Structure formats: structure tokens, C-alpha cells
């Protein structure tokens, strides 16, 4: 009789559904039997500008050392980040993408009998990392698609150890302002770690979208996570970071794999941090692309959720799955979000002007088919 290794997995893992990433261009090219160059991917909130030339040069310089393990402490990158964030290097944790930081938090602070609070329609990794360690998820209802911070506060109980908040959130693009954040932090019990996920902050930071780092000095229970995958254009290299109190950083460091960020990623991230103009250009291109998409959607009579990130969740007013399939047949990959409890929406990442045009034309064509 064969052993059932699914039944032997810990109960939380048995019930897990794996994360579904955006469809890769090559996969669709194989399925459609067409040239990958004819396909556009606006499905994973990547930076359409291509990586910063400075990051590319840093990677080339680093290639000679591929035979060596990376610096397991990421000394240079941590020092640069500490300087940029106005903190000490011992407050920075490096991750294999910011997803790694979220997972380290779950492994260090959650366990069966404990729970994490997050919002309805929140980023899919929160339930995954929570369930993977056998902890419970307490999901607070969203308000107008966004995080309802008072509802999240109300969901906290004596077994809550972590609250995951994305500002802006993916896949909704919704955000909350500085006073909402300040009120929330002041009210959260001191023994609950608030993970403020700012993967998209560089696209929208300003009067309406607060910089979480400004609250660190007052709240030792705050961790701000950020990434080089979006505005810094390095999604493929997998590098992100958390900024927290030194104690929380020390705890995360205990469960971190020793070489979780590779040497090419470390070098590229340092160079990307210095390329201030690239990030500014990414933000400008995103703002222009957002306007272009919004204008096109208006002409199509569609509405969308206002967004401060590099994507829009479009309300099709009908089931999105068939429109997604229709777009695939046009060589346009976007993201269905039915799994987020948003069956009538499709999420589209802001692309280059030509890509946005192609998307809008393909969408018009698919919708016209009925």
C-alpha cells in the first residue's frame, strides 16, 4: 500500500492552494504557436522600462565572482539601505524578494493557535504564509475594495501576532492616508507586529500615501517591507527588504536562509538604489501610462478602482474569466482576480505606451464579441 504523503503534510499545508503567478510569455507563445515577440505581458506589475543600465553594469562586474557564495550578511546593501531609510543597518533584513520577508515573519511569529489579521482582497501571499505555518487567518471585510483599518483593528484578538497591511494593496491598488495609518498604529496592541507592505510605495508616495518608515521610531512593533521588483525594475533577481526594530530584524535573521539574496541581486540592488533618475522616470512613465489607460477605459465605458500603484483593477461589469481568455488569444496577458473575490475585475499592469494601446484595442475587440 502506498503512503499518502499529502495526508502526512501538516494540516495547514494540506489545504493550501499554491500561488498562481501571471502567465509567462513563453508559455502563451507555446500554447498559441506564435512568436513571443508578438505577445505583451501586463500581468505581474513589472517595470516595463527594463532594468536600470547601472544595475546591468553592476551585474556584469559581479559575474567574475559567481563561483563564490554571496555575502550572507549583505553588508553593502544593508548599509546603503540604512542610509537611504534613515535607520541603522541592524534594522534591515534582506529577502529573496519581499515575499521572503513576509514568509520570515510568519515563520518567526505565527504558529498553530495563533493568527494573522489581513483584509479581504489583500495580497495573496498573506494567506499562504499564514496557512503554511498552521496559523489561522482572520480576514477583515474590505470597504470600497480597500483596507478598512478600523475593521482590521476589530479583528485583532488575544491570539493575533501579526497584521499584514499593503499600502497600496495588490490587486486593488487602493491606499490609505497618513492619519488613518497613525490612528491605526496608535490603537494596535503593542504585542502585535504590524507588517506594512509598501511594495509599490515609490509610485505614489506623497501627501496621500504615507511613508511607513516615518513611523518606525515610535512603533517597535512595525515592520515596513519593500522591494526592488517594481519601481527598481529587478523582479527577476528577487530582492526585497524589511525595516524594523533591531530586535525584530534579529529574530527574522534567525530563520533566514544564510544566502537568501544572491550576489548579482545584491550588486544590482546597490546600483539601482543609486539610480535615482531611473526610479523617477519609472514613476513618470507610470503616471502617464495610468492616464492613458484611464482615458481608454473611459471611452470603453468601463470603470476601475482608483490606484496609486502600477496597475489598475478594471470592473468589466461581468465575469472577467472569459475576457481574460479572449485577451490571451489576442496575445495580451493580464491577470484574472477571481481568486481574490473579484470575479468581475481584471488587473492590468501599466505598460509602455504601445503596450497600453495594444491592450486597449484588444480589450475593445474582445468586449465587442460579447
Ligand X SMILES: Cc1ncc(COP(=O)(O)O)c(C=O)c1O
Q: Which residues bind ligand X (CB under 6 A)?
A: 45, 97-99, 123, 166, 170, 197, 199, 227, 229, 235, 240
Q: How far is the CB of 234 from ligand X (least distance, A)?
A: 9
Q: From CA 302, how far away is CA 322, in angstroms rounded? A: 16
Closest CA to 214 of 185, 173, 175, 250: 185
Q: How far is the CB of 299 from ligand X (least distance, A)?
A: 28
Task: Compare residues 227 and 307 and give the one whose CB is closer to ligand X.
Answer: 227
Task: Compare residues 204 and 240 and give the one whose CB is closer to ligand X.
Answer: 240
Q: Which residue, judged by CB position, is nearest to ligand X in the bound state?
A: 97
Task: Compare residues 120 and 197 and give the one whose CB is closer to ligand X.
Answer: 197
Q: From CA 234, how far away is CA 272, in angstroms rounded? A: 9
Q: How far is the CB of 125 from ligand X (least distance, A)?
A: 6
Task: Compare residues 174 and 330 and give the one whose CB is closer to ligand X.
Answer: 174
Task: Give the number of other Cβ atoms within 10 Å of residue 274's Cβ.
Answer: 15
Q: How far is the CB of 32 from ligand X (least distance, A)?
A: 25
Q: How far is the CB of 126 from ligand X (least distance, A)?
A: 9
Closest CA to 83 of 181, 213, 193, 237: 213
Task: Compare residues 59 and 366 and give the one whose CB is closer to ligand X.
Answer: 59
Task: Compare residues 99 and 245 and give the one whose CB is closer to ligand X.
Answer: 99
Q: How far is the CB of 239 from ligand X (least distance, A)?
A: 7
Task: Compare residues 125 and 366 and give the one whose CB is closer to ligand X.
Answer: 125
Q: How far is the CB of 298 from ligand X (least distance, A)?
A: 26
Amino acid at each position: 500500500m502506498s503512503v499518502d504523503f499529502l495526508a502526512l503534510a501538516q494540516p495547514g499545508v494540506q489545504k493550501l492552494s499554491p500561488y498562481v503567478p501571471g502567465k509567462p510569455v513563453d508559455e502563451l507563445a507555446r500554447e498559441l504557436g506564435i512568436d513571443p515577440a508578438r505577445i505583451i505581458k501586463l500581468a505581474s506589475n513589472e517595470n516595463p522600462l527594463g532594468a536600470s543600465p547601472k544595475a546591468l553594469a553592476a551585474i556584469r562586474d559581479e559575474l567574475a565572482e559567481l563561483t563564490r557564495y554571496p555575502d550572507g550578511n549583505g553588508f553593502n546593501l544593508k548599509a546603503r539601505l540604512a542610509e537611504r531609510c534613515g535607520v541603522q543597518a541592524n534594522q534591515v533584513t534582506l529577502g529573496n524578494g519581499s515575499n521572503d520577508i513576509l514568509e520570515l515573519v510568519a515563520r518567526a511569529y505565527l504558529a498553530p493557535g495563533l493568527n494573522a489579521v489581513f483584509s479581504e482582497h489583500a495580497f495573496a501571499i498573506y494567506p499562504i504564509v499564514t496557512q503554511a505555518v498552521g496559523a489561522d487567518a482572520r480576514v477583515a471585510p474590505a470597504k470600497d475594495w480597500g483596507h478598512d483599518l478600523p475593521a482590521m483593528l476589530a479583528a485583532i484578538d488575544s491570539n493575533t501576532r501579526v497584521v499584514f497591511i499593503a499600502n497600496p494593496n495588490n490587486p486593488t491598488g487602493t491606499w490609505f492616508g497618513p492619519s488613518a495609518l497613525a490612528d491605526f498604529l496608535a490603537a494596535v496592541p503593542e504585542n502585535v507586529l504590524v507588517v506594512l507592505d509598501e511594495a509599490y510605495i515609490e509610485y505614489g508616495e506623497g501627501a496621500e500615501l504615507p511613508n511607513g518608515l516615518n513611523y518606525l521610531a515610535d512603533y517597535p512593533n512595525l515592520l515596513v517591507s519593500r522591494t526592488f521588483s517594481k519601481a527598481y525594475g529587478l523582479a527577476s533577481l528577487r530582492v526585497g527588504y524589511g525595516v524594523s526594530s533591531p530586535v525584530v530584524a534579529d529574530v527574522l535573521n534567525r530563520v533566514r536562509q544564510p544566502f537568501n539574496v544572491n550576489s548579482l541581486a545584491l550588486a544590482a540592488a546597490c546600483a539601482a538604489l543609486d539610480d535615482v533618475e531611473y526610479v523617477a522616470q519609472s514613476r513618470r512613465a507610470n503616471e502617464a501610462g495610468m492616464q492613458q489607460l484611464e482615458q481608454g477605459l473611459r471611452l470603453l465605458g468601463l470603470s476601475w478602482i482608483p490606484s496609486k500603484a502600477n496597475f489598475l483593477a478594471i470592473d468589466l461589469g461581468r465575469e472577467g474569466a472569459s475576457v481574460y481568455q479572449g485577451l490571451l488569444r489576442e496575445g495580451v496577458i493580464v491577470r484574472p482576480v477571481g481568486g481574490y473575490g473579484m470575479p468581475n475585475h481584471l488587473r492590468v499592469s501599466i505598460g509602455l505606451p504601445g503596450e497600453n494601446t495594444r491592450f486597449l484595442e484588444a480589450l475593445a475587440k474582445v468586449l465587442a464579441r460579447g
